[in-house]
Amino acid sequence: MTQAVIAATGLFTPEQSISNAELVTAYNAFADRYNADHAAEIEAGAVEPLTHSSAEFIEKASGIRSRFVLDKAGVLDPSRMAPHLPERSNDELSILAEMAVKAARQALERWGKPASEIGAVICAASNMQRPYPAMAIEVQQALGVEGFAFDMNVACSSATFGLKTAADFIASGSVKAVLMVNPEICSAHLNFRDRDSHFIFGDVATAVIVEAADQAVDGWEILGTRLKTVFSNNIRNNFGFLNKAALPTGGTEPVAATGLTDKMFVQQGRKVFKDVVPMVAEMIVDHARDLGLDPAQLKRLWLHQANINMNELIGRKVLGREPTPEENVIILDDYANTSSAGSIIAFHLHQDGFAPGETGLICSFGAGYSAGTVFVRKRA
């Protein structure tokens, strides 16, 4: 069985970002307009008024301070509160593929080998632009890759599921190298008119090249991968090809009033926290011990960037103590939750300081519920 290695990573970050203060200003302006338009119903007790958001509330609830987005103006327009991303013709490179290609080209540059040596492309993301043709095949064509390509969606765990799939392809001898991309336009699925979730997501794309160990120069040996799914409705998005209703882009009605709330991201945050944290911590510890690793000795955790409180608690449970910022990487403050890409961003930006033989963990968790663990060891 051929050993798989993470040989290179890449990251595309949009040029535009939105601070908590900017996001709050837009939301509060919307709330004020809504309350004014429904003043009579509110006074009569028939309608609940919308309360203001605040930068302090957002940071305390999530650890997020800002987020990168593809379109800032549309999100911050109180009469729209959604990104404005014009549809492209079928002959143009799609937005999602364009993001993925930019991240992939950075990974290829770091890898130092031509795209022609890639045997498969996996687009693993939670917010696909279309059902078909597969985004991965479009990326494959844009990069000039032979072989095969396909999409996969396991929500926020898509990247770790993609890494396991890539490692399995390497182990079986199907290909010598796999490109996995995680383009996420999360802002298009976020309800910016909901105070409890309007701050959660950002846009980004990541890329990982997984290669056979006998071909790799250095990189990270994949020691083991493990996946888990448990069905839950506590995180859900019902928008798909069966939904013909257009998302609202004007007026002062909250999305709930349009009947389209669950066509975008919705969650029961407290239930998710209660269910997911122990499930993931136990999964990490059990997997580490099955691999003969002491979880307390892991040099670094690159966890899914969902919520700082979840990440900190998982870190404490896994390491058995309070982790240092170097041990439990947090990039939420700058990037917010970027779904499948979060753990890969953390790994891409914070993989320095490892001596050969030292180990770390890439881990994701999210809707499904789904969770994935990928233990890696720095190669000589």
pLDDT digits (tens, 9 = 90+) for 307-365: 999 999 999 999 999 999 999 999 999 999 999 999 999 999 999 999 999 999 999 99
Is 16 domain-assigned? no
Q: Is 363 inside a domain boundary? A: yes
Contacts of 124 (CB under 8 A, 6+ apart): 151, 152, 153, 154, 158, 159, 161, 162, 165, 180, 181, 182, 340
- Range(s) of the domain holding residue 315: 223-378
The verdict on residue 173 lying in a domain is: no
What is the helix, strand, coil percentage profile of the chain, to 5? 40, 25, 40
* DSSP 8-state class, residue 258: G
Residues 356-378 have a mean pLDDT of: 97
CA separation for the pair 240, 111 (Å, rounded): 36
Beta bridge partners of 18: 67
186 catalytic? Reply is no
Centre a 10 Å sphere on the Cβ of residue 211 and count the other Cβ atoms it contains.
Answer: 28
pLDDT 10s digits, 263-288: 777 778 788 888 899 999 999 999 99
* Structural domain contains residue 279: yes
pLDDT band at 43 (very low <50, low <70, confident <90, very high): very high
Alpha-carbon separation of residue 186 from 241, 290, 331 (angstroms): 18, 35, 16
In a domain, 361, yes or no: yes
pLDDT digits (tens, 9 = 90+) for 140-151: 999 999 999 999
Residue 335 resides in a domain: yes
pLDDT given at position 272? 85
Average pLDDT value over all residues in the chain: 93
Does residue 302 have a pLDDT over 50? yes
Number of domains in the chain: 1
pLDDT at 269: 74
The reply to whether 48 falls in a domain is: no
Distances in Å between the Cα of 293 and the Cα atoms of 117, 314, 365, 380 are 33, 17, 21, 19
- How would you label 360-375 residue by residue, b for 16+ Cβ within 10 Å and e otherwise? bbbbbbbbbbbbbbbb
* pLDDT tens digit sequence for 202-220: 999 999 999 999 999 999 9
For 153, the token pair is: 């969606």
According to DSSP, the residues that pair with 267 across neighbouring strands are 235
**pLDDT for 373 beyond 50:** yes
Nearby residues of 207 by Cβ (< 8 Å), 6 or more positions away: 9, 10, 11, 100, 103, 104, 106, 107, 179, 180, 181, 182
* Local structure of residue 277 (DSSP, 8 states): H
The answer as to whether 161 is a domain residue is no
239-258 pLDDT, tens digit per residue, is 766 655 544 555 555 444 44
> What pLDDT does residue 257 have?
43
Tell me, what CATH number does 310's domain have? 3.40.47.10
Q: Name residue 201's beta-bridge partners.
A: 337
- Of the candidates 123, 156, 186, 363, the residue annotated as catalytic is 156
